[in-house]
Each structure stands twice: as C-alpha cells, then as structure tokens.
Structure 1
Amino acid sequence: MENRISFTLTDAEQAQINQHLNSILAILQPKAVVLDASDRMEILKMADGTLPFTEKAIGYMHSNPAFKPDFVSLEEADIDLNAYKLGKQFLTYAQQVIRVIEDICFLSGSEAYSAALVYYRNVKMQAELKQPGAKDIYEDLAKRFVKKSSKKSKE
C-alpha cells in the first residue's frame, strides 16, 4: 500500500493552531453580523465584476457629492468597501488554509480507510478459513462496515 501522507502535529503545534484560530475568531466575531440562509439569498452580492463599479461610484460620491442622496452615508460606504476588500484578502488566506486542511483530511482519511478495508477483507477471509478469533473480529467489524447501496436495492 502506498503511503502518500504521514501527517502529525505535536501537542504544542496543535495548541498553537487552536490558539491562533481562537484569536482570529475573538477579533472578528464581535464585529460581525451573522446572516441566516434567507439573508444570504436576499442581499445584493458584491463580486469581482461589481467591485470596479462600486469603487467608481463611491469615488464619484467623493468628487461629486451633489448627486449623492442624503440617506446614503459616504462614510459608511467607504467603511463597507474597505471591509469588503479586507474581508476578501482574509478569505483568500482562509481558503488556502481550508484547502490544506481538506487535503490532509481527504488523503489521511483515504489511507486510514484503505488500511481498514484491507484488514477487514483479510479478517473475513481468515474467518471463512476458521482461524481462531477471526470470526468475532469479523462480526464486530461487519456491524460497523458501511456498504455503498446500489440503485437497485433502493428501488
């Protein structure tokens, strides 16, 4: 069996990562607003395509304030635009971290599950050959073994 990953962290490294993640949350959460699913669907979405328009329009609010409606706060528009840009920067880093963690989980999980399947098949074969102790192990593992169901069995 090929082993592509052997990922371990010391207790100190784990504590350091947890401390940094907790620090990030401690800074961000008091300043954030939690959106529910309907909020996320209903609000206008800023994206790469709308950012230049937004920057240009807010720039015009600065240079041509006569056209800005009174109910629009230029100060808040600047704060929101800067928060978006900063958030996107943080999101890029966070997505890199998430990808690294996902890859660790996918590959480590795959290798652990593969080793377990090889052992399970071997103990099953040993149980069929009446090797002492194999049947008990096989039956215990068989209770926990998740088989992929086929479409025919669902129908």
Structure 2
Amino acid sequence: MTIENRISLKIDETKRESIKNNLIGLKTELSPLLVALSPNQKRDLPKIGEHLMNFVEEAVYAAEQNLSVVPPYLNLEEVKVDMNAWKYLHSVSRDLEQLLSLLNDTATLSGSEAYSSMLSFYNFIKQASKDGVPGAKPIYENLKHYFPGTGNKNNNKKSEEE
C-alpha cells in the first residue's frame, strides 16, 4: 500500500525568519490603526458590505452636490474618512482572508498526510505487537494512549474489574 503524498513543504530557516519579520511588520503597521470591539458592540453596530458601500458613496456624492439639505450635525469630511478607511481595510481583510484560507488548507493537508501516515504505522505496529514481533510491543504501548477506548472490550472489562 502506498500513501499518496500530495504535499512536501520544506520551509528553511531563512524563509521562516522572513515570514516572521513580515508578520511582525504587518502587526506593527496595523495595530495602531485598529480597534477591538466586544461581541455586544459588534452585534449592536449596523453592518456594511460592498453593496451598502455603494449606497454610502452615492449618498456622499448627493450630499456634496446638495449641501443646503445636509443636516448641520453631519460631518461629510469625516464620513469620507470613514468610507475610505473601510474600503482600504476591507480590501486588506479580503487579501488576508484569502491568504489565511490557503494557509489553513496547506496546514490541513500537511497535518493530514503526517497523521494518516503515522496512523498507518500505528496500525501496523499494533498488529506486529499482537503477532509478537520483537520490539513492536514497547512502541505500541507508548502510542496506544492516544486512542483511549479503542482497545479490546474484553481487556477493558478486565481492567475495570481489577
């Protein structure tokens, strides 16, 4: 039986350090600009998406063309600052979400391949231990605690009775 190896990703120390430094740089640049909201604050805020940003842009344009009907409490310049910030941050967020999705997919595949391969080894060593292959039993005994409750039911009953 051959286990398919769909990914073989080696990340050398130079690349790791570069990635780490880039992440630190991104955090350093973004952190002073960002705010944290509580779950209640997030829930209570009106939400906007790209379709509603079109409404905001069109409404700002209409307000700028008709200043006589703009309420005095409305600061159009601040609305434009918020609008531009949203557009930029939303764009960065989309890029990061795409990157995070690829990162998670790659990590999932790498982890899955490692786990599947070693699960195959575990099942092999488990059988080898049952068959009395020299050296197999200590390996199996060391690994079997990762799978509690999957042993022989008769053995489990005996252990409970003792």
TM-score for both structures, normalised by structure 1: 0.89
1:104 corresponds to which residue? 106
Contact 1:127–1:135 (CA<8 Å) still a contact in 2? Answer: yes
2:65 corresponds to which residue? 63
Deviation at 1:9, TM superposition (A): 1.1
1:48 and 2:57 equivalent?
no
**Unaligned 5+ runs, structure 2:** 151-162
Deviation at 1:49, TM superposition (A): 2.2
Q: Deviations over 1:85-141 (max 9, x none)?
A: 111211221122112211211110110000110010000000100122212211221
Structure with larger Rg: 2
1:121 corresponds to which residue? 123
Q: Distance in 2 between matches of 1:147 and 1:104?
A: 31
1:152 corresponds to which residue? none
Q: SS at the partner of 2:50?
A: coil
**Unaligned 5+ runs, structure 1:** 149-155
Percent same amino acid among aligned pairs? 31
TM-score for both structures, normalised by structure 2: 0.85
Question: Over aligned residues, Cα RMSD in angstroms?
Answer: 1.6
Deviation at 1:28, TM superposition (A): 0.9
Q: Distance in 2 between matches of 1:146 and 1:13?
A: 39
2:81 corresponds to which residue? 79
Q: Deviations over 1:20-79 (max 9, x none)?
A: 111111111111111121121111111122111111111122111222222221111001
Q: Aligned to 2:17, which of 5, 15, 36?
A: 15
Q: Distance in 1 between matches of 2:63 and 2:108?
A: 48
Report the CA distance shift for 1:139/1:17 in structure 2 as closer, same or farther (over 3 A): same
Q: Distance in 2 between matches of 1:109 and 1:146?
A: 21
Q: How many residues align?
A: 148
